[in-house]
Structure 1
Amino acid sequence: MVLGNPLTMVLPFYLRLTWIFLASIVTQLVFMTFLCIHHMFTCAVDDYFTSGSSINPSERTYPEEMIQSGISTIDVMNSIARGQKIPLFSAAGLPHNEIAAQICRQAGLVKRLEKSDNLLEDDGEDNFAIVFAAMGVNMETAQFFKRDFEENGSMERVTLFLNLANDPTIERIITPRIALTTAEYLAYECGKHVLVILTDMSSYADALREVSAAREEVPGRRGYPGYMYTDLATIYERAGRIEGRKGSITQIPILTMPNDDITHPTPDLTGYITEGQIYIDRQLHNRQIYPPINVLPSLSRLMKSAIGEGMTRRDHSDVSNQLYANYAIGKDVQAMKAVVGEEALSSEDLLYLEFLDKFERKFVAQGAYDTRNIFQSLDLAWTLLRIFPRELLHRIPAKTLEQYYGRDASN
């Protein structure tokens, strides 16, 4: 048996190790170079954390311009500004899921395209996106959202997060934060105007209470943790616009009020943090009016900065004020009619009753697949206001009446 030189046997082995080592280094260098190039030409996702943080007040810019929902009662009387946070107050058995799906189908941007009073819907769909997060929903509701988005083409612009009722509780805590982190990426890095819909925030609050009880923390009102206001603020205050960035984040959190109780901690604290509310009414729902949005308790605190000449139409604010006034008077007349009877009412009172009925049946009522842009909704509002003679439209200036009162809606 002849043995070879040990050096000649070991040397090829070390050479192979050296080549493998060098090849791995080259591979890593190529991969890192690719990542650097990719980072230069795309958005830096790694800069965003799931937990996120509220926007620095000194970096905020005031929400302006309007996001169009396609629903008349929202667009005309509770207009939503880009960067606003406005909740949808609902309750068990009411069609808040259907309204949320309808907003996802119809929502878009509005901008002025010409100097005249004709405005057109912004067709730049690439500049608008929706982030939808459902928390604690059952399988039927999850399938409804997914199927509706897929069948109606909404999925092309919707980022969908679904947390089922049988999923771990901690996932319910994380879901809205992941959704908002995605929205921040789309808004502040990609320059999109993002609409974030969160449903159901009551399920989120219940999950927060469950985690707090497991940690044996001192409970607050109705068993919810004492820090729930702060926790909700960390979610809601991530909406807004940042100076120097093109995009915006608009929030519509949906919450169900237990036993229709608006004083429940979840809607109560939400109302303190957000900038208004849209109220879904059970009485309107029982009368088969969809969407059953009650405009009297509803409010958009930032509406004034989202409407008017240059953003929607110059008559928008005056029309909204007049609709509110006439609807409120109509409700009072309806209550008086129940006491004294219709025969005791004046001719002016009868006009308000006629307006009340047509307002609810033609303006508030709207098909689930009936899209109305802001201009169609304003023209419809003028059709209803023409029930009254000009002298009863006290909240509309004479110049605006001269321009719109006698105008045909088709013009």
Structure 2
Amino acid sequence: MSLQYVGLKAINGPLIFLEGVSNVGYEETVEIKLENGETRHGRVIHIDGDRVAIQVFEGTDEMRLTKTKTKFLGKPLMMGLSKEVLGRTFNGAGLPIDDLGPVFSEKQLDINGLPFNPVSRVYPRNYIHTGISAIDALTTLIRGQKLPIFTATGLTHNELATQLVKHAKIADSKDEKFCVVFAAMGVKHDVAKYFRTEFESSHVMDRVVMFLNLANDPIIERILTPRCALTTAEYLAFELGYHVLVIMTDMTAYCEALREFSSSKGEIPGRKGYPGYLYSDLSNLYERAGMLHGKKGSVTQIPILTMPNEDITHPVPDLTGYITEGQIVLEKSLKQKGIFPPIDILPSLSRLMKDGIGKDFTREDHSALSNQLFASYAKVGEVKALASVVGEDELSEVDKKFMLFGKLFENHFLNQGETSRTLDETLDLGWELLSILPKSELTRLKESDINKYIDSEKSIKKFKLQHENLVDRIIGKV
């Protein structure tokens, strides 16, 4: 028997409170009928004896304490899923907004997900090809990994997100399926339109499921958005066998919605006003990535988050870094040089990269090349610091070659515009850049690697065609 409660005890922001309620459960969905006949929905988020707090998805505007009828549905918030979700666009609550009608669901799943049994997890192996050299070569994205992008206001993270959606793919294999679940939270109307237009014009929408939560949508819907997206990803991966890449932007907007929601509940704030359970809440989302024994598919996450005031110690990037397996950091100075994507490789890393590259996955020279590129570009930073003191003309010949390497590395390797590179093109370009340096400085390479891949004369001639004055001045005519 289902009871209907008439009247409310209190209304506070997006929350309503009832007293005298029995036999309800945490996360149970609720149907709310207003005096004017409008129906809204919510879920139970707090129970204290016979007093419950309900989160109203559509907000509490025009809701009154009297004559409001509340009905508990006896189940958590569910999402209907089938293969038809591919190519569709939903709002943050999982409802279609593309005027294509409802989804005919084959299965109803709880948006909170089911916990992964640690014993059933499979260690992430193999990689996802993004077409972006700085990621594929130096911070390789592994299937089942969670690898966030740390960005700042004004950087080109939206453009990078669209590049990932358009060009990401798994290793060429006819029996493996790949798709993308894209979730945007708290974005402006023009940004949402940009995402839609880019995906449709690139003809990739048939393999994309999009969730759009706009800045003027209720904050409660923003809290649901990543949960709906991840529930969809889990269904596609573990029920239909897809390798799913989940891109969520912007997680800072999600955390700010969580802070506002926590404040309306009267909870004691933690660091910078965020709730004390922010770490566990983010863990509930990020840990939904992975692979399972007996399942062909995988869920890989790329959450994008804006660092307030470019502060990497801010609670959102700080806690994200504890949970995830590395990070990709965007740098404003690179963007000012016109480099896209402006990925700063020195603070970026992928902790699972070593287990998904090499002979059986990418190429046998991948690991050695990556280590040497990191070491050489780090040396460029030291040489730049020295040049700022003594002047570039006073540098040694070796240091001048490092300066040349740094400029060519940024202009040719990091900066690739909207083009997509194959993995072989990326690795070959890396070897060509290393060929500029003296062999004595390639301390991370074996002699066999140097003899096999390094061709100084050929590389200098190639880059001289594009930067004749620069190469002549530093290395001399060849």
Equivalences for residues 199-218 of structure 1 within 5 A:
199-218=249-268
Deviations 1:95-120 (A, max 9, x none): 0000000010100012xxxxxxxxxx
* Residue pair 1:53, 1:234 contacting (<8 A) in 2 also: no
Q: C-alpha displacement at 1:125, in angstroms?
A: 9.0
Could you tell me which of 215, 225, 243 is aligned with 2:293? 243
Tell me the secondary structure at the aligned position of residue 396 of structure 1: coil
| Residue identity in the other structure for 1:394 | T
Give 5+ residue unaligned stretches, structure 2: 1-82, 84-103, 463-478
Tell me the secondary structure at the aligned position of residue 277 of structure 1: strand
Q: C-alpha displacement at 1:207, in angstroms?
A: 0.6
Between structures 1 and 2, the one with greater strand share: 2
- Do structure 1's residue 386 and structure 2's residue 447 form an aligned pair? no
1:141 is matched with which residue?
191
| Residue identity in the other structure for 1:285 | K
- Do structure 1's residue 129 and structure 2's residue 179 form an aligned pair? yes
| Residue identity in the other structure for 1:230 | S
Q: C-alpha displacement at 1:307, in angstroms?
A: 0.4
Tell me the secondary structure at the aligned position of residue 64 of structure 1: coil
1:150 is matched with which residue?
200
Deviations 1:54-74 (A, max 9, x none): 422111111000001110000
* Residue pair 1:172, 1:204 contacting (<8 A) in 2 also: yes
1:27 is matched with which residue?
none
Deviations 1:195-233 (A, max 9, x none): 000000000000101110111111111110000100000
1:34 is matched with which residue?
none
Q: C-alpha displacement at 1:306, in angstroms?
A: 1.1
1:177 is matched with which residue?
227
1:10 is matched with which residue?
none
1:357 is matched with which residue?
407
- Do structure 1's residue 46 and structure 2's residue 107 form an aligned pair? yes
- Do structure 1's residue 307 and structure 2's residue 357 form an aligned pair? yes
RMSD: 1.9
Between structures 1 and 2, the one with greater helix share: 1
Equivalences for residues 392-403 of structure 1 within 5 A:
392-403=441-452
Q: C-alpha displacement at 1:286, in angstroms?
A: 1.2
* Residue pair 1:281, 1:294 contacting (<8 A) in 2 also: yes
| Residue identity in the other structure for 1:378 | L
The count of aligned residue pairs is 357
Q: C-alpha displacement at 1:405, in angstroms?
A: 2.0
1:274 is matched with which residue?
324
Deviations 1:18-44 (A, max 9, x none): xxxxxxxxxxxxxxxxxxxx9xxxx99
Tell me the distance in 2 between the aligned counterparts of 1:251 and 1:136: 19
Tell me the distance in 1 between the aligned counterparts of 2:385 and 2:187: 39
Inter-CA distance 376–402: structure 2 relative to 1 (3 Å threshold): same
Inter-CA distance 205–139: structure 2 relative to 1 (3 Å threshold): same
| Residue identity in the other structure for 2:292 | I
* Residue pair 2:339, 2:417 contacting (<8 A) in 1 also: no
Deviations 1:363-399 (A, max 9, x none): 000112x010111100000110110233321111122
1:374 is matched with which residue?
423
* Residue pair 1:212, 1:225 contacting (<8 A) in 2 also: yes
2:398 is matched with which residue?
348
* Residue pair 2:398, 2:438 contacting (<8 A) in 1 also: no
Tell me the distance in 1 between the aligned counterparts of 2:381 and 2:186: 37
Tell me the distance in 1 between the aligned counterparts of 2:227 and 2:106: 15
State the TM-score, normalizing by the size of structure 1: 0.84
- Do structure 1's residue 284 and structure 2's residue 334 form an aligned pair? yes
Tell me the secondary structure at the aligned position of residue 142 of structure 2: strand
| Residue identity in the other structure for 1:387 | I
* Residue pair 2:372, 2:443 contacting (<8 A) in 1 also: yes
Deviations 1:172-208 (A, max 9, x none): 0111001001100110111111000000000000010
2:136 is matched with which residue?
75
Inter-CA distance 139–124: structure 2 relative to 1 (3 Å threshold): farther
Give 5+ residue unaligned stretches, structure 1: 1-37, 111-121
Equivalences for residues 19-38 of structure 1 within 5 A:
none
Deviates most, 224-233 or 383-392: 383-392
Inter-CA distance 53–232: structure 2 relative to 1 (3 Å threshold): farther
1:89 is matched with which residue?
150
Highest relative contact order (Cα 8 Å, sep 6+), 1 or 2?
1
Deviations 1:296-343 (A, max 9, x none): 000100000110001000000000000000000011101100101123
Q: Percent identity?
A: 52
Tell me the distance in 2 between the aligned counterparts of 1:173 and 1:53: 18
Inter-CA distance 125–179: structure 2 relative to 1 (3 Å threshold): farther
Inter-CA distance 126–58: structure 2 relative to 1 (3 Å threshold): closer
Tell me the secondary structure at the aligned position of residue 195 of structure 2: helix
| Residue identity in the other structure for 1:101 | T
